[in-house]
Amino acid sequence: MAASTNGFAGKPSMQGIVPHGEVEVSCVGDPDPVVNYVLDIKDIDDAVRTILLPPLAAAAANSPQPPVADVLRASLAPFRDRLHGRVESVTIRLTPTHSITMTTASPHRVLLRQQFDFAAAHRLHTPMLSDEENRRRYGKCNNPRGHGHNYRFEPCVEVPLDDAHVPLSLRDLESACKRAIIDRFDHTHLNEDTVEFNLDRGGVIPTIENISRVLFDLLQRDLASSAPHARLVSMTAWETDRTSATYPA
């Protein structure tokens, strides 16, 4: 069988309808003085295929399926040892917008990420500048009637893996984001309809930098009551597919 020439596909190439995911490995270390590799990519690929993928495939075939984090935790130590201790983290990307990350430094905690979206309008205008200067600084974003975006946001939540806490599931995170963010902002004019971005009501200008910070604060407040064992690490918000901000930086 001819080797696959599609660099964005699995090897061998899929046939029919099959589960599809990605494994992302982050390694650290000094490059070898002779070949100047930290690790040979072929060694990383072989370790993924022989140590990480078999238990993940077996788990996917089981019913009920065990948590992905538990499967990853059981494989992390031998995977790290196979690659000479240079593995910093492993991410299992279950869908293009949902991933689970475990670091070798904290194998009893995982980072849960999922993207969400809402549609809203906003206007960039500050009373600290003249109308002319606002138009010069913000351009079309200073349109007096505002303009709209399909905003995306991605919380990164650290969750403990121990018997003392009920794990935070993706469904739990979805519910928290709906309560704290989507129900509040979806199909609104941020400047006019929300306290958070109305300057006359003590809000801030809805730049993507401020939006990422406000979303972080709102979700952090919700998780403090709904999932106090979970820790919100960061919030990334996208205004377009080319413009985003992450808080904390």
Coil, helix or strand at residue 84: coil
Q: Is 141 considered catalytic here?
A: yes
Task: Tell me the backbone φ, ψ of residue 108, rounded to 5 degrees.
Answer: -105, 15
Radius of gyration of the chain (CA): 22
Q: Which residues pair with 247 in a beta bridge?
A: 235
| Catalytic, out of 27, 141, 177, 196 | 141
| Catalytic, out of 154, 158, 196, 239 | 239
Q: DSSP letter at 179?
A: I
What is the token pair recorded at 108? 């009893």
Q: Is 24 considered catalytic here?
A: no
| Beta carbons within 8 Å of 6's beta carbon, 6+ residues apart | 13
Q: Is 187 considered catalytic here?
A: yes
C-alpha–C-alpha distance, residues 20 and 58, integer Å: 14
C-alpha–C-alpha distance, residues 125 and 138, integer Å: 8
C-alpha–C-alpha distance, residues 91 and 104, integer Å: 11
| Catalytic, out of 88, 147, 187, 192 | 187
In terms of Cα–Cα distance, which of 110, 118, 94 is closest to 177?
118
* Residue positions annotated with a catalytic role: 141, 187, 239
